[in-house]
Amino acid sequence: MSHAAVDLNNLPYADGDFYRFELLLSEAERERLQEIRDFLAKEVRPIAVDCWNRGEFPLELIPKLAEANLMSPVRRQGHSNVFAGIVHAEFTRADSSIATFMGVHDGLFTGSIEALASEEQKAAWLPDIYAMRKIGAFGLTEPLGGSDVAGGTRTTAVRDGDNWIINGAKRWIGNATFSDWVVIFARDVADNQVKAFMVDTALPGYTATKIENKTALRTVQNADITLENVVVPHAFKLAGGNSFRDTNKVLKVTRLSVAWQAVGQQMAAFDAARRYAVERQQFGRPIASFQLVQDQLVKMLGNIVACTGMMVRLAQLEDQGLAKDEQSALAKAFTTARMRETVALGRGIFGGNGIVTDYEMAKIFADAEAIYSYEGTYEINTLVTGRAITGISAIV
């Protein structure tokens, strides 16, 4: 049997949207989505592997991201959460590191300002943030506090007249090596409540040191932050950030975004594996002609469809104001678990070529591990969901 060359771009499902979820978007949103895809194809994908290999962030990309007008698609631009989710998946499909940069600046940092700042603070800060003239970071996780940071925040804040004195340390803080601002969560010694502060990274006593030797999201500049008697004016305490419960207003939405990242990471793996299977010749024929390879590709596709369906429905609930924390937790746990399976299947299709970044699949496979872990581990999100369906907490 002869096997003619296949043009993947002309197949009916070339975009990977097997169940046509994008038809749920408005015509204007579909047009905007295509514009963003074109931007990612031109500006992000061509540099992604090289930046990852070097472990360096392309700062020259930030003005281009600003010009593309991507910030705050729901609150500022009035798009649906379904659109915002699909866009985040597309960013991840192009490069999970740049998607994570946007998730930190636009999601965690900007989301904190939008959700917790006063109207006066928003008016003062958001114009520069939306225009990406000021880049932000989000300081919650600590060296000794990840999953238990809700009750174990060790960074402290002490009120001193019109100022707050902050001491402590944060870890894994994305963007922190070059950010202008960082939202720091610290425990108020006076009432033991976790409060939020906008910290200028140029303040004396603030240092950020890049975390080296990562095997995932190497382009993202994660840092260890130390705060030694950092003086923050009271006007820079976020007015609505007065307890860890307030922090959850941000995390519920960003956890949903990370679950969308898991969808995008699977789509990236599927794109790469399908193309490789069609092009790679063994035994005188494309490996895509073998039943076992087609079985692997279809399993990958099934995971993508299942995860996308879950995320579309959750985004619809968010649009209706009905989404719950436990639903975001289940989505993050489920989609990242399926993602692990999907990228492993994809890496297997590449054989030995799947462990070198020349073929992109190795980067996709490695980056999935970071997505699996941040914004709440699989285990913690499972227990959050378990508490919701049993009424019994198994966490503490």
Q: Answer yes or no: is 250 within a domain.
A: yes
Question: How many Cβ atoms from other residues are within 10 Å of residue 17's Cβ?
Answer: 15
Cα separation, 309 vs 305, whole angstroms: 6
Query: Of 225, 243, 261, at which residue does a domain stop?
Result: 243
Q: Answer yes or no: is 396 within a domain.
A: no
Structure tokens at 251: 């995390």
Structure tokens at 207: 């240092």
Cα separation, 266 vs 305, whole angstroms: 10
Do 277 and 364 lie in one domain? The reply is yes
Question: Which residues are within 8 A (CB) of 387 and not within 5 positions of it... i.e. 6 or more apart?
Answer: 326, 393, 394, 395
Cα separation, 208 vs 204, whole angstroms: 12
**Domain span holding position 308:** 245-390
Q: Answer yes or no: is 2 within a domain.
A: no
First and final CA of the chain: distance in angstroms? 62
Cα separation, 17 vs 61, whole angstroms: 28
pTM listed for this prediction:
0.94
Structure tokens at 383: 């227990």
Q: Is the dihedral of CA 374, 377, 382, 385 positive or negative?
A: negative
Closest to 108 (Cα-Cα) out of 76, 137, 131: 137
Cα separation, 315 vs 305, whole angstroms: 15
Do 371 and 265 lie in one domain? The reply is yes
The one-digit pLDDT tens for each residue of the chain (396 residues) are 556 677 888 887 877 899 999 999 999 999 999 999 999 999 999 999 999 999 999 999 999 999 999 999 999 999 999 999 999 999 999 999 999 999 999 999 999 999 999 999 999 999 999 999 999 999 999 998 776 776 679 999 999 999 999 999 999 999 999 999 999 999 999 999 999 999 999 999 999 999 999 999 999 999 999 999 999 999 999 999 999 888 888 887 888 899 999 999 999 999 999 999 999 999 999 999 999 999 999 999 999 999 999 999 999 999 999 999 999 999 999 999 999 999 999 999 999 999 999 999 999 999 999 999 998 889 999 999 999 999 999 987
How many distinct structural domains can be found in the chain? 3
Do 234 and 142 lie in one domain? The reply is yes
